[in-house]
């Protein structure tokens, strides 16, 4: 093989390597891009009961009185949070298009202030897209003082396009601690105390 051929080969190898590296970087970036993409995809399609957390406009004067749907509320506690989450009613029955308001009570039962966050989930997932909330505490991080109790309303409606086979919609809120913030908070308290002393 002549020197020229060899150089042609080497150039080809270099080109192939660079293209491969570009593809690698692209795929690595793609894997990370999948995280937000999945999120968007879930919100659009309702996979996993991920709900849209932004406040939505409620549509009025459009109630479908031909059918009733039961909406259940379940509250749960993740581990490590000295809070209690209550809902004033376990279930409501309403027409698609009708607006309803349900109060949730958050109480901090510890002797220190904490941050927490309520993670929502909806089932069946065909219903997820049809739950509209105008005010909601989903995913929002909340701070409660020691022993504090706060009521928060959930104002929502099911839109009229709710598939007919859905007769019960279940909303679950699981309360989780926001560890980092709480730790910072408590560290801060100790610092302050130290300063005074």
Q: Contact positions toward another protein, by CB under 8 A?
A: 1, 9, 12-13, 16-17, 20-21, 23-25, 27-28, 30-32, 34-35, 38, 42, 45-50, 72, 74, 76-82, 84, 90-91, 109-110, 117, 119, 121-126, 139, 163, 165-168, 170, 172, 174, 176-180
Query: Is the Cβ of residue 89 or residue 135 nearer to another protein in the bound state?
Result: 89
Q: Where do the DSSP E strands lie in 89-148?
A: 91-94, 99-108, 114-123, 131-135, 141-144
The residue written with tokens 């839109």 in the block is 159
Task: Kindly report the backbone phi and psi dihedral angles of residue 12, in degrees, each rounded to the nearest multiple of 5, phi listed first.
Answer: -60, -45
Residues 6 or more apart in contact with residue 131 via CB below 8 angstroms: 51, 122, 156, 158, 169, 171
Least Å distance, CB 178 to another protein, is 8
Least Å distance, CB 55 to another protein, is 17
Task: Kindly report the backbone phi and psi dihedral angles of residue 81, in degrees, each rounded to the nearest multiple of 5, phi listed first.
Answer: -125, 120
Query: Is the Cβ of residue 58 or residue 166 nearer to another protein in the bound state?
Result: 166
How many CB atoms neighbour CB 136 within 10 A?
25
Least Å distance, CB 14 to another protein, is 9
Query: Is the Cβ of residue 9 or residue 60 nearer to another protein in the bound state?
Result: 9
């Amino acid at each position: 093989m002549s020197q020229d051929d060899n150089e042609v080969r080497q150039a080809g190898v270099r080109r192939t390597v660079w293209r491969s590296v570009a593809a690698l970087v692209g795929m690595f970036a793609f894997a990370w891009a999948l995280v937000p993409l999945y999120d968007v995809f879930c919100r659009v399609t309702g996979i996993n009961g991920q709900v849209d957390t932004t406040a939505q406009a409620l549509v009025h004067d459009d109630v479908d009185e031909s059918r009733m749907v039961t909406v259940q509320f379940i509250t749960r506690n993740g581990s490590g949070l000295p809070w209690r989450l209550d809902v004033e009613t376990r279930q409501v029955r309403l027409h698609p298009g009708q607006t309803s308001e349900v109060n949730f009570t958050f109480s901090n039962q510890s002797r220190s202030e904490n941050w927490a966050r309520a993670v929502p989930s909806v089932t069946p997932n065909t219903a997820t897209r049809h739950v509209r909330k105008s005010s909601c505490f989903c995913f929002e991080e909340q701070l409660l003082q020691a022993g504090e109790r706060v009521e928060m309303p959930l104002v929502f409606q099911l839109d009229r396009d709710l598939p007919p086979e859905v007769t019960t919609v279940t909303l679950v809120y699981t309360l989780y601690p926001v560890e980092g913030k709480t730790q910072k908070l408590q560290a801060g308290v100790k610092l302050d105390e130290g300063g005074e002393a």
